[in-house]
A and B are shown apart, each in its own frame.
Chain A
Amino acid sequence: MIYAVWVPLLMPFVAVPAARRLADALAPLRAVRLLASTAVGLALCSTLALVLLVVPGATQLSAVAAVGELVKPLAAAPAAVTVPLALAALALLSGCTAAVVRTARRHWVELQRARQSAECSGGELAVLRDSRPDAYALPALPGSPGRIVVTTGMLRALDPAERDALLAHERAHLAGRHHLFLAAAELAALCHPALRSLRAPMGYALERCADEAAAVAVGDRRVAARAIGRAALAARAAEGVRARPRVALAAAAGPVPRRVAALLGRATHRPGVGRAAAAALLACLILSGAAALEATNDLHSSIEVAQGEVPQR
């Protein structure tokens, strides 16, 4: 039994605290890319580690051993250890696979519906007669354009320049295909529970990307900041008494004030933190990948020994 196999399974717990600090400290686009590669990379490595845990136990079955042309049992560890481990890993693995497949299918269905709504028109903007302020980008499938969905409540809460900022923001989501990053983060979170807390920083970094694009499009960072701020306040006012009580962590400011502060240049700049967090994440990713490779290698050579191809050292 090699210990390297446990590293990819434990690494997400180490990586996530670093990732939380990343979204504010790094340039938005860089943060998005780093978060996406971390989430997907760590998810793949931990899934591979689960597979590697299943194999030694599975070879205890004579059918598997026959298929693998094993002439003697794997010398990895006693069956009393490998079999329960393999069963547990198999259960986790099939749980993850089922969840990933289910979620991916749900996303696909939602996108199909989005395509249906986009097909019957040429316009990029769909306005809903609804006094509750709301706006989002409806992503599209290849070959059909995405759409921007805005309620009349949102349009009336903003002044003309702010409306342009809102449209530019949503356009940036569509052009950057940001929904793919959100989906990747969500699928990764299904593979390892610790990766769940990467979804919020990912969402935040994507909003920051779109905010910066909006600021460039309207040519005024303060207009973009005001658009976000007023939209959020209007949405809250419309929510009124029906506001759902939220289990809020008051310690840190929520995403909206942080986005506004970043556009207004009021956010505290700590490039050192960003670099350190990015370095930590990359280190986690590399370590995780190397450990997964090492464990694969080790399993491979022990299988070769069991196949009688290589004399036991």
Chain B
Amino acid sequence: MSQVQGISSEDPDPRAGGKPTPGPGVESAQASASVPGPAPEPSSAPERRPAGELESTVLAALWAADSPLTPGQVQGALGAPLARTTVTTILTRLYEKGTVTRTRAGRGFAYTPTEDAPGLTARRMHSELQKEEDRSTVLARFVSQLTDEDEQLLRELLDGDAR
């Protein structure tokens, strides 16, 4: 969604003015209002999400990486495009909370996630819940176990989608 906006702003379509359909024109007008400029206003779609959600996304990217990430690398490791300044702000906020640590890297910082107190509590809960795995019904797991047939079927579905 926001990717579409980004593309349409970088490549201003000369046909957009001649087209009678209002759809694309409106979209590119929105995009050109938000994207250009060195310090974009936080008005594009992903940045309107609540701060907590953005923090989770950034934290997930840091945990998925093997090594410390600079704000630029974090920006590249996100699913939805985020302004560099936003990424830096989020990283600073996470650092102040003690959720990530940072080390000097060139002129800036590189960030590493830490296993903080809530992480440890979650770990304790996690191992307790695994003990009583089939008794615990409060939890909805993201994916349930697969059978052999399921695995086969799933691979076919995903391969069919990739083609």
Query: A-side interface residues toward B, CB under 8 Å?
Result: 106-107, 110-111, 113-114, 116-118, 120-130, 134-139, 147-150, 152, 154-156, 158-167, 169-171, 173, 178-179, 182-183, 186, 199, 203, 206-207, 210, 218-219, 222-223, 225-226, 228-233, 235-236, 239, 246, 248, 250, 253-257, 260-261, 264, 266
Contacts and interface: CB of A to CB of B under 8 A. Distances in A.
Nearest to B123: A128
A167 B49 CA distance: 13
Decide if the interface of chain B is mainly helix, strand, loop or mixed: helix
A137 B140 contact: yes
B53 A171 contact: yes
B136 interface: yes
Contacts of B138: 107, 110-111, 114, 139, 179, 182-183
Interface of B: 1-2, 52-53, 55-57, 59-61, 63-64, 77-80, 97, 99, 113, 115-119, 121-126, 128-129, 135-151, 153-155, 157-158, 160-161
A59 B140 CA distance: 46
The 6 closest A-B pairs by CB, nearest first: A121-B118, A161-B79, A126-B122, A160-B79, A135-B142, A219-B1
Contacts of B161: 222, 225-226, 264
Contact of B142 (A178, A219, A228): A228
Contact of A167 (B60, B141, B149): B60
B60 A125 contact: yes
B118 A163 contact: no
A106 B153 CA distance: 37
Contacts of B117: 120-121
Contacts of A183: 137-138
A138 B139 contact: yes
Contact of B78 (A160, A226, A261): A160
Given A121-B118, A236-B145, A248-B149, A186 B63 contact: no
B55 A125 contact: yes
A210 B140 contact: yes
Contacts of A233: 146, 151, 154-155, 158
Contacts of A154: 142
Nearest to B115: A129
Contacts of A110: 129, 136, 138
Contacts of B157: 225, 229, 257, 260-261, 264, 266
A123 B59 contact: yes
B125 A256 contact: no
Given A120-B118, A125-B59, A171-B53, A149 B126 contact: yes
Contact of A127 (B55, B57, B119, B142): B119
Contacts of A254: 144-147, 149-150
A256 B151 CA distance: 9
A235 B143 contact: yes
Given A121-B117, A136-B141, A233-B146, 15 more contacts: A110-B136, A110-B138, A118-B118, A122-B97, A134-B126, A148-B56, A152-B64, A156-B64, A163-B57, A186-B137, A219-B1, A228-B143, A254-B145, A254-B150, A257-B153
